[in-house]
Amino acid sequence: MTVTDERSTAAGPEVGRSRLRKEDQRLITGRTRWTDNIVLPGMLHAAMVRSPFAHANIRSIETEVAEQAPGVITVVTGADVKDTQGAVATAWPITTDQKTPDHLPIAIERVACAGEIVAVVVARTAAEARDAAELVDVDYEELPAILDGREAAEDAVLAHPSLGTNTSAVWRLDSAESGTGGNVEEEIAKARTDGIVIEREYRQQRLIPSFMEPRSTVVDPTGEQVTVWTSTQVPHLLRFLIAATTGMSESKIRVIAPDVGGGFGGKLQTTAEEFATLAAARRVGKPVKYTETRSESLVSGHHGRDQYQRLTLAASKDGTVTALKVDLIANLGAYVGLVGGGTPVLGAWMFNGIYKFKAYQFNLRTVLTNTTWVDAYRGAGRPEATFAIERIMDELAAELGADPLEIRERNWITHEEFPFASVAGMTYDSGNYEAATARAKELFDYDGLRREQQERRDRKDPVQLGIGVSTFTEMCGLAPSRVLGSLNYGAGGWEHASIRMLPTGKVEVITGTSPHGQGHETAWSQIAADRLGVPFEDIEVLHGDTQIAPRGLDTYGSRSLVVGGEAVVRAADKVVEKAKLVAAHLLEANAEDLDFSGGRFTVKGTDQGIGITEVAAAQFTSHNLAEGMESGIDADATFDPVTFSFPHGTHLCAMEVDTETGGTRMRRYVAVDDIGQVVNPLIVQGQVHGGLVQGIAQALWEEAVFDEQGTLVTGSFVDYTLPTAADTISFLTDNTTSPSTTNTLGTKGVGEAGCIASTPAVVNAIVDALRPLGIDDVRMPCTPERVWTAIQSAGASAGGEVSGGAQPHFDEDAPNQDGPEPGAAEAGQKGADQ
């Protein structure tokens, strides 16, 4: 029962081929090793007792009744394990005086958000554990809770009273101070008298990553080492942080990320659940499994985004941008996550986008609230920034009555100008915005759709057409260790690879990255196959186990290929260098006289040669090595990038908006991405499709909502509305190629591109459809109700330019019709401020 792959016999280099994935076989036949599938002898099950309150003191925890329940082994409270439970750590304090509240896996005195763990029930079966969790009686003293980020900044109610403030950190980037550009205030003042100033506030609603595999952890403390299987993106970081916070010896901890069902940043975390399960397992001395329910996942897995963005854009009268000032409030939730504080900082270099601003300033305030903690979600800081700049560039175009693509072209970096030093202090390696845009316009039939838009406007069609543009860039490849050091990040950004040349001709590639759906086993095989000249099929990629891949920094930030892939390249090149010496001896030639190609060493000018796999066999027996030569051609490499890579693209979206109902329908979506050299086009397209839908979902459907008490209202998949196949369309995708100059293969990273680009493209399209009504914003998610409300309130002032007396087509009291957000309507009417 093997998958047949008719493409595997084609000749030519592996890199650039649409190889079908090696990973698929087990996934399509149901033989996958998810953490929750793991069963160990004597294994017990944990259930978490969680706080229903957003903020409360814990007066007492009564566990006796639960402990008497059938099958219950024990109930563990935070007090029981206070010296051994470790902590949920922050890796990135963005300032030296950042306020970072202690985050205990099992809360002891106080809970700071709903869903926090207060006790762990360990029982023979998962059902018994869950039943008994209901019997744990916790006496809470409710405290006032603060939920909204902007309100939190006022410090009227404190999320952590002992800190004295809700502000965790204030961080700033200023082009005049850093010498990368001019003075932002001066440029804005100039534009106020003799140019254009556009001021806007955008809201990045809170999202939930919603990986499909609920998080699960199995801890086996019965061996000499404690083994932790867990559904994570970061096995290496987890191992380090278990050691660093529990006092266990790092060498006694083995962390394995088996098959992991999606992450999107949501599993870029060392979680309270992992530490609580570890503490429980060590306490009972037996293997313990904990698998969350979806409802637990939505409230206790970290959330993403949640920013208030104030932007001031200055331009000259002809629409040439001069300055951009950004004031951000980022809601971190109750605790500072692993990279939670740093996530909005990653936007600092991206708000300026692909445009040539003279002056730039980025001011960030991170605040703590009594909500689920917020950390990286696909794109992490860059989608938020890209949304803001791409939205406001459309506002500038509207102000000038110009085509949004024309305004972008007037301001973007031209392809002759690379490498380009941005006003935020980054050097963009390569790109060609003109080429990507031209290709996107062609695929999209831009002119044709603009014509149709005009026709619909002219005939006052109740269904209007809007065209949204997003010409984005992003930074990939986290990250140069030295840069991370300068940003106060607690780890490096290198990546490691090892290559083992087995005597039977097979090859093991060991990577420190930790994939969870991205297809690294396939892509890494392609890279190694080309470098070593061995068949794709003969390469095995190993990862995600700290015992097998001892060195690594895992998978996030579109870093795996540009950093981890480069490490594979370098390890392979070292193998070839070592093998060359063995080959020279066997061929009785000088190493300098050998050529290496297609997996064979040949003596220049002769037909004598030997294959690299034969060399591997020869070094295995070591019967005939040169005098003094060490046996072995395996090699390790660690790659630390010197800079980031900057993929970019042009995305175009056409939305139909029914002005009578507020309903929207996607007509066409084109994504042309320049991600440098493509290793596997099939995998790249898949990454783009998936990213697009996540970004589109932010624009149209998804939002994590809390009620006034701090209870997550969108606490199940009934209310947190992920898009389905029926909500989405097929996409038109293509690539243009400007190879990166920062790594050997010229690759740039693609994991987050679709998600970064699509959100503003969709909202720009909706606003474009409604702009004749005087509407210049609709708050995300642009549900029919919000669109309809924007139309209604705009119609009141604009006199209803579109015909057809719009009637409400829904009943406000009906289920699934959330009330309008206060402020949505006003935001919709705010005009350009000159």
- Interface with ligand FES by CB under 6 A: which residues? 212, 262, 517
Query: CA angle at residue 505 from 503 to 509, to 5 degrees?
Result: 95
Taking CB under 8 A as the criterion, the residue among 388, 541, 579, 692 binding another protein is: 692
* Binding positions for another protein, 262-321, rule CB under 8 A: 262, 264, 293-295
Sign of the Cα pseudo-torsion (769, 773, 778, 783, in order): negative
Q: Are 132 and 62 in contact (CB under 8 A)?
A: no
**Nearest residue to ligand FES on Cβ basis:** 212
As given in the structure block, the two tokens for residue 292 are 């969350």
- Cα separation, 432 vs 704, whole angstroms: 37
Q: By CB under 8 A, is residue 400 in contact with another protein? A: no
Which of the listed partners (another protein, ligand FES, none) does 741 bind, with a CB threshold of 5 to 8 Å by partner kind?
none
Sheet bearing 594-597, strands edge to edge: 594-597, 600-603, 609-611
Q: Binders of another protein among 33-92, rule CB under 8 A? A: 34, 36-37
Q: Which does 731 bind (CB under 5 to 8 A by kind): another protein, ligand FES, none?
A: another protein
Q: Which of 8, 25, 454, 590 binds another protein (CB under 8 A)?
A: 25
> Among the candidate windows 197-205, 255-263, 463-471, 548-556, which touches another protein by CB under 8 A?
255-263
CB burial readout 32-70, b (16+ within 10 A) else e: eebbbebebeebbbbbbbbbebbbbebeebebeebeebe
What's the CA gap between 477 and 75, in Å, rounded? 43
The residue among 303 and 410 lying less far from another protein, judged by its C-beta, is: 303
Residue from 594, 566, 350 nearest 474 by CA: 350
Interaction pattern, residues 507-526, with another protein; x per rule: CB under 8 A? ---------xxxx-------
Asked if residue 17 binds another protein (CB under 8 A), the reply is: no
Residues 615/619/624/628 CA torsion (nearest 10 deg): 120
The distance of closest approach from Cβ of residue 212 to ligand FES in the complex, given in angstroms and rounded to an integer, is 4
Pairing state of beta strands 427-428 and 732-736? unpaired
Q: Is 759 in the site for another protein (CB under 8 A)?
A: no
> Closest Cα to residue 103, out of 249, 273, 305?
273
The single residue among 9, 13, 726, 822 that binds another protein, judged by CB under 8 A, is: 726
> By C-beta, is 115 or 263 nearer to ligand FES?
263
- Tokens 């985004």 belong to residue: 305
Alpha helix segments (H runs only) across 401-445: 404-411, 433-444
Angle at Cα 195 formed by Cα 189 and Cα 197, nearest 5°?
A: 65
The label of the residue with tokens 């949004």 reads 404
Alpha carbons 805 and 794: distance in angstroms, whole number = 13
User: What b/e string do you get for 610-648 counting C-beta neighbours within 10 Å, with b at 16 or more?
Assistant: bbbbbbbebbeeeeebeeeeeeebbbbbbbbbebbbbbb
* Phi then psi dihedrals of residue 161, to 5 deg: -55, -35
Q: Which stretch binds another protein (CB under 8 A): 628-636, 677-685, 703-711, 791-799?
A: 677-685
Q: How far apart are CB 125 and another protein at their closest, in Å?
A: 8
Between 564 and 691, whose beta carbon lies closer to another protein? 691
Residue 675 CB, nearest distance to another protein (Å)? 17
Q: Do 312 and 198 meet the contact criterion of CB atoms below 8 Å apart?
A: yes
**Nearest-approach distance from CB 698 to ligand FES, in angstroms:** 17
Closest to ligand FES by CB, 166 vs 518, is: 518
For another protein, the closer of residues 11 and 726 by Cβ is 726
Q: Measured from the CB of residue 262, what is the shortest distance to ligand FES in angstroms?
A: 5
Residue owning tokens 């970064």: 756
Specify the residue, 49 or 257, whose C-beta has the smaller distance to ligand FES.
Answer: 257
Chain positions 605 to 624 lying near another protein, rule: CB under 8 A, are none
Closest to another protein by CB, 205 vs 295, is 295
Beta carbon of residue 231, minimum distance to another protein (angstroms, whole number): 10
Question: What count of Cα atoms within 13 Å lies in the side-chain half-sphere of residue 348?
Answer: 22
Q: How far is the CB of 376 from ligand FES (least distance, A)?
A: 18
Residue 20 binds: one of another protein, ligand FES, none (C-beta under 5 to 8 A by kind): another protein
Sign of CA dihedral 171, 203, 781, 354: negative
Q: Which does 30 bind (CB under 5 to 8 A by kind): another protein, ligand FES, none?
A: another protein
The answer to whether residue 444 forms part of the interface with another protein (CB under 8 A) is: no
The region of 1-9, 55-63, 69-77, 106-114 touching another protein under the rule CB under 8 A is 1-9
Q: What residue ranges bind another protein (CB under 8 A)?
A: 1, 3-4, 20-21, 23-25, 27-32, 34, 36-37, 127, 210-214, 259-262, 264, 293-295, 516-519, 682-683, 685-687, 689-694, 716-718, 722-726, 728, 730-731, 754
